[in-house]
Structure 1
Amino acid sequence: MCCRLQDAIRKLLRDLRTRCFYRYTPPRPLEEIEADIRVIEGEIVRMLAEVMGGQAG
C-alpha cells in the first residue's frame, strides 16, 4: 500500500476515534489546583528536610 494512502488512513482513523470517543472535561477550579500544589510543596519541603538533616524550609 502506498505510504500516502497509509498516512491518510491513519489520520482518518485517529480523527474518527477522537470525534467519537473524546469527552471534554472542563478543568478543575483554580482554587482546587492551588490547594493540591500547596500539599505537594509541603511534601517536597518535608522530603528535603529529611535528606538535608532538618535544614530545609
Structure 2
Amino acid sequence: MGIKKTIDYLEKNKNYSYVEDIALDTAAVYAESKQYDKSYIYHQKMIQTQKQIQRGECLYEF
C-alpha cells in the first residue's frame, strides 16, 4: 500500500495521530533526497492534520 493510500485510509478512520507521524516522516525523507516539492506537500498535510487534532476530530489512544 502506498503512502497516499495509507494516509487516506487513516484519515477516513480519523486516526489523525498516525497521519501526523507518517506525514512528518515522509516529508523528512523527501527533503533529505532534495525532493522539496513533495516534502512541502507532506509538511502541509502534517500541519492540516495537527489542526484537525486540535479541533478534537481524532481518535487518540489513551
Q: Given the two structures, how large is their TM-score scaled by the length of structure 1?
A: 0.38
**Higher RCO (CA < 8 A, seq sep 6+):** 2
Q: Given the two structures, how large is their TM-score scaled by the length of structure 2?
A: 0.35
